[in-house]
Chains A and B, each alone.
Chain A
Amino acid sequence: AQKVTQAQTEISVVEKEDVTLDCVYETRDTTYYLFWYKQPPSGELVFLIRRNSFDEQNEISGRYSWNFQKSTSSFNFTITASQVVDSAVYFCALRSLVYGGGSNYKLTFGKGTLLTVNP
């Protein structure tokens, strides 16, 4: 069975602080995708990044960066110089790439981390 754990339920920071959102996953599969999604107050989940299990290179996109460590089954997300617009719920998710018919296409989500950035 697959599992994604986001241990931080809520985080509150002041604008311009750096913040890291933790994600730890469990899977028996050797190939998989990991994702981060953002859910602003409007409700629609927005895709942020996909990482496949055989590419451990860290990625940076503007103020966002992701640290994937297969050895510790973690895929952490850092926002540098946070802004009020970063306030949202952030979800980490996992999808197997091992062939298993239709059920391959299920995403397993963590419970989310509510980030509040105060001015």
Chain B
Amino acid sequence: DVKVTQSSRYLVKRTGEKVFLECVQDMDHENMFWYRQDPGLGLRLIYFSYDVKMKEKGDIPEGYSVSREKKERFSLILESASTNQTSMYLCASSSYKGRGDYGYTFGSGTRLTVV
């Protein structure tokens, strides 16, 4: 069964900590994405990557950075966590090869609480 795996389901961090959220996909997909989901705001794109070492800012990149050193892994980094980054973080991947294009395959999400 193909998968997008996020390393943690729940995470509690302190303000000012550097936080790493990891995402791994086993589908050989070119594209990977990080979204955050907040009540009433839906899903908002933070960063995405369409190739190894390539990254593009999404709609709300401030306070975040990303790393994609290998095709299967896409990391989201909170350089100095703040309470307003408490949220559900969703990773997704997709392929532009067209066949069986279901948009994205999503991970189960990481619920991050910054205290």
B107→A110 contact, CB < 8 A: no
- Contacting residues of chain A (73-111) with chain B, CB-CB under 8 angstroms: 91, 93, 95, 101-107, 109-111
Bound-complex Cα distance A80 to B51 (A): 41
B106 touches A45 (CB 8 A): yes
* B50 in complex: contacting residue of A46, A50, A105, A111, CB < 8 Å: A105
**B interface size (C-beta, 8 A):** 29
Least CB distance from A118 to B in Å reads 21
For chains A and B in complex, what number of residue pairs have CB atoms within 8 angstroms? 61
Which of A9, A44, A45, A105 is close to B40, meaning CB atoms less than 8 Å apart? Answer: A9
Residues B43 and A105 in contact, CB atoms below 8 Å apart: no
- How many positions in chain A have a CB within 8 Å of any CB in the partner chain? 25
Bound Cα distance from A45 to B37, whole angstroms:
11
A43 an interface residue at 8 Å Cβ cutoff? yes
Which residues of chain B are within 8 angstroms of A46 by Cβ–Cβ distance?
106
> Complex formed: what's the CA distance from A104 to B58 in Å?
12
Using a CB-CB cutoff of 8 Å, which residues 34-57 of chain A contact chain B?
Answer: 35, 37, 42-47, 50
Task: Check B48 against A43 for contact (C-beta < 8 Å).
Answer: no
Expressed in whole angstroms, the minimum distance between the Cβ of A117 and any Cβ of chain B is 20
Q: Could you name 6 residue pairs across A and B whose Cβ atoms are closer than 8 Å?
A: A35-B102, A44-B109, A101-B50, A107-B103, A107-B104, A111-B41
- Beyond contacts A42-B108, A47-B105, A111-B41: 6 other A-B pairs, Cβ-Cβ < 8 A, are A44-B109, A50-B101, A93-B103, A102-B54, A102-B56, A107-B103
